[in-house]
Structure 1
Amino acid sequence: MPKDTFHNLPEEKKEKITNAFLREFAIHPYDKASLSSVVKSLGIAKGSVYQYFDDKLDLFTYLIEECSAVKMKYVGQLKRENFNDFWGYFRSLYSEGVKFDLENPLESHFLHSLADNLNSPSVKGLYDEMLTNIIAGFEQMAKHEVELGLFRDDIPIKTIGFILYKNGRAINEQMEVTGHINPKESIKKGKPVYEGKVDQLMETVDNYIKILQRALDKEST
């Protein structure tokens, strides 16, 4: 976590430092991200970073927590009980995710590149921990739907949870492979990941929902 020296900085300076490192980690994988180039662009001494954070990993963890907190302001307001089925809820998570992206492009780019960042050898332990927690969250979603009698109960909950997790990844990957989005270019231009591509994203989400409904809904078996 940031040291008091960072918390005591003026808000404008904290935001400037945070944004500079968000951009660096959004463009480069963790092991290739350069603290030196960032502090040079900021016009501060490299040693200043270690006055604010214990090390590079401490800084990176702070950025994850900050970006996740901002996104939660969007998706966290959604409650499953307010939807007739899981898929309406699932779709709305993406709708709110788009709002987050359009209004917070730097934070969105950072989270969009997080999987690639976490594949860096230096942060494998963090990757394993976060992946376990993320999949556990999807498993809890699956368990809830099975208990409601809406998802099939002949498929292990762990399998359903993993399917939901992987499909979330696949949607983003398809958008990149098909050329609908190009995060490496949009971050350089300071633009949101999905600017001008929201309709294509939601169409892709709807297509995945059709497949998942057939595979997982109890009434479809």
Structure 2
Amino acid sequence: MLEIKGYTKTYGEGKKAADNVSITVESGDIYGFIGHNGAGKSTTIRAVVGVLDFTEGDIFIDGHSVKTDSLECKKITAYIPDNPDLYENLTGIQYLDFISDVFGISASERQQRIKNYADRFEITDSLGDLISSYSHGMKQKLAIISALIHEPKLLVLDEPFVGLDPKAAFILKQIMHEICEKGTAIFFSTHVLDVAEKLCNKVAIIKHGRIIAQGTMEELTRGESLEDVFLEVADE
């Protein structure tokens, strides 16, 4: 579903924020992407979703190149950045209707999906309020619902649990499992290693822009905790 091939991003003076990164995320995977601050996680994620151009390599989503067929990629992808920018002069329901219109979601489908996710995240009663009045956590929940509304084949998240209360984080993990069982692929970064260990079936560790370890959770941990493995390989 997601294939990153030799992705390299070079900034001024030859500094490589990502260096020959290759990762494959298959349908049904919950793939964790971990590394220290500045390791290249967000740079890679932003290239995957077409926000950031890149120097070398290519990225494919369901066989479509992000470079040459970006619109087809975006039709089947959803992205939640670590600090979502929402249209704060809209109400919550106006924003969700706008996203539904962008993806051509019918009135009946959007109504059912919005009700399902808004009820589960307990923001149904606030959908008529301006987004500018929302707390950070409520904005994060709205961003998550807007990402799920068109049932993407690939869901990309950058630190999705930041700002969520424990119950909302639990609900999000439930939903991640549910959509993966239907064939969606999830690629997400996180600093919360115990969450990644329990949630992911595959993981990649990035350091100074290079992948230093990747594979199934069992292959990487081999009886150790993910935290122990991360500290061992990332701090060498």
Q: Which has the larger radius of gyration?
A: 1
TM range (shorter): under 0.3
**RCO (CA 8 Å, sep 6+): is it higher in 1 or 2?**
2
Select the structure that is richer in helix.
1
TM-score by length of 2: 0.24
